Amino acid sequence: MTTSEGYGLSEEYQDLSDTVREFADEVVAPVSAKHDEEHSFPYEVVKQMGEMGLFGLPFPEEYGGMGGDYFALALALEQLGRVDQSVAITLEAGVSLGAMPVYRFGTEEQKQQWLPMLASAQALAGFGLTEPEAGSDAGGTKTRARLNNGEWLINGNKEFITNSGTDITRLVTVTAVTGESTRADGSVKKEISTILVPTDTEGFTAEKAYNKVGWNASDTHPLTLKDVRVPEANLLGEQGRGYANFLSILDEGRIAIAALATGAAQGCVDESVRYAKQRFAFGNNIGSYQAIQFKIARMAARAHTARLAYYDAAARMLAGKPFKTEAAMAKMVAGEAAMDNARDATQVFGGYGFINEFTVSRHYRDSKILEVGEGTTEVQLMLIARELGL
C-alpha cells in the first residue's frame, strides 16, 4: 500500500478508485433498483466487472490477474458499495472467499485450473463454511468427508453460501470433518479440511435461493451434498488445516467487508447531502436547518473513521505486520457506520426513504447484514478483547 501523504492515495490507487466510481455511477446504479425489485442476479454488470479486471485485482498476471493487491480490491469494493451492496458483495465473495483460498492454499495445478476463469469472472466460486448448527463455532461442523478408493465421499449441508447457485458458478470449497482425535482431557477434537467441489458434481445441489431482507441481487443458497465424490487431489491445502486456513481468509475478508461497509456509509452521506440541498420545507432547503446539518455531519464523521480503520488494517497486512485485531476493529466500526448512516439517511429522506427505488432505502435493508456476515459484531469484540488480554 503506497501512499503519498498520510492516508492520501497514490496516483495508481486514485486512478483505480476513480475508474470504479465512474463505473458504479454510470453502469451499476442505473440498474440497481430493477435487480433489487426482481431479486435478479446482475449478470451483465458482473461480466463488465470481469472485463475490467476487478475479479482479478489481487492476483498475479500469471493466473489471469491484474497484479495488484488486496488494498486495490478494497478500494473497488468501497466505490461499488456506495451504490449497490449486492454487486459489491458479489465481487467481495467471489474474490476473497471464492478465489483467494485457491490462490493462498492451492497446488500449482489447482491454481492453473481455477484462477484464470475466476479472475476473469467467466466463473464464480463460493466457500461453504456455515451450516445449520455451525457458523462462528466451527466445532459444530457436521459435514463429513472420508477417503474411499482415491476419492473424497462428502455428505452434509451448508447454509448462507454466496455465489453458490448462479449460472456461472463452477466451484464451491467446502469445509468437512475428515477425522477426529482425542484430547488429553478426553474431549474429541474434529479434524476439519477444505475440499474443492465443482458444482456439476453428482450429488451437489444448490437449493432454492433465500428470500432475504436485503442484498436481493446477490446470489445466496443453502447447499446439499449427498454422496458427493471428488478426487483425492481436490483437497485444498493440508488435511486438517482447513479451519485454520479459513480463519486467515476471514481476517483478510474483514478488511474487504469493512471497505464495502465504508462505501455504504459514504453513499448514505452523498445521497443525504444531495437531497438536503434540493428538498424544500418551510421556505428553505432542509440542508439549511441545523438539525439536518448535524445529522449529516455525524454521518460524514462515521464514514471517515471507518475509512481510516480499513486503510490502517490494509496497510498492516500489506506490510506483513499482524493485522487480525485491526481488521476486526475495521469490520466492526464500518459495519456499525453503515447501519447508523442508513438509519439517519432514511430519516433525512422522510417518506421517500421508505420507498425501495431510492438508494438509501436499499442501504437501510442491506446494511444490517454487515453487522452479521463474515463474523458478527460480537465475534469482533471477542477478538479485540482477547488481544487486550481479557
- Can you give the three-state secondary structure of 135-190, one letter per residue? CCCHHHCCCEEEEECCEEEEEEEEEEEECCCCCCEEEEEEEEEEEEEECCCCCEEE
Q: Which of 126, 207, 208, 202 is nearest to 164 (CA)?
A: 126
Domains 11-123 and 244-387 equal at CATH topology level:
no
Q: How far apart are the first and last CA of the chain?
A: 32
Provide the pairing of β-strand 235-236 with 280-281.
unpaired
Angle between helices 70-83 and 290-318 (to 10 degrees): 160
1.10.1040.10, 1.10.540.10, 1.10.3720.10, 3.40.50.2300: CATH of 11-123: 1.10.540.10
Rounded CA separation 182/327 (Å): 33
Q: Write down the pLDDT at residue 246.
A: 86
Q: Per-residue DSSP letters for 271-329? A: HHHHHHHH-EETTEEGGGSHHHHHHHHHHHHHHHHHHHHHHHHHHHHHTT---HHHHHH
Contact 270, 276 (CB under 8 A): no
C-alpha 94 chain-centroid distance: 8
The pLDDT profile of the chain, 390 residues, written as one tens digit per residue, is 443 345 678 999 999 999 999 999 999 999 999 999 999 999 999 999 999 999 999 999 999 999 999 999 999 999 999 999 999 999 999 999 999 999 999 999 999 999 999 999 999 999 999 998 877 676 789 999 999 999 999 999 999 999 999 999 999 999 999 998 777 777 778 899 999 999 999 999 999 999 999 999 999 999 999 999 999 999 999 999 988 888 888 899 999 999 999 999 999 999 999 999 999 989 999 999 999 999 999 999 999 999 999 999 999 999 999 999 999 999 999 999 999 999 999 999 999 999 998 999 999 999 999 999 888 999 999 999 999 999
| Amino acid occupying residue 181 | S
Q: Write down the pLDDT at residue 383.
A: 94
Contact 204, 154 (CB under 8 A): no
Choice among 108, 374, 378, 387 that is catalytic:
374
The enclosing H or E element of 83 equals helix 70-83
Fold annotation for 125-239: Butyryl-CoA Dehydrogenase, subunit A; domain 2 (2.40.110)
3-state secondary structure of 221: strand
pTM: 0.94
- 232 is known as an active-site residue: no
Rounded CA separation 344/279 (Å): 16
Q: Which of 246, 261, 221, 320 is nearest to 97 (CA)?
A: 246
Rounded CA separation 320/315 (Å): 9
Fold annotation for 244-387: Butyryl-CoA Dehydrogenase, subunit A; domain 3 (1.20.140)
Q: Write down the pLDDT at residue 7.
A: 67
Q: Write down the pLDDT at residue 137.
A: 75
**In b/e form, how buried is each residue of 188-209, taking b as 16+ CB within 10 angstroms?**
eebebbbbbbbbebeebebeeb
Q: Write down the pLDDT at residue 1.
A: 44
Q: What residues does each domain of the chain span?
A: 11-123, 125-239, 244-387
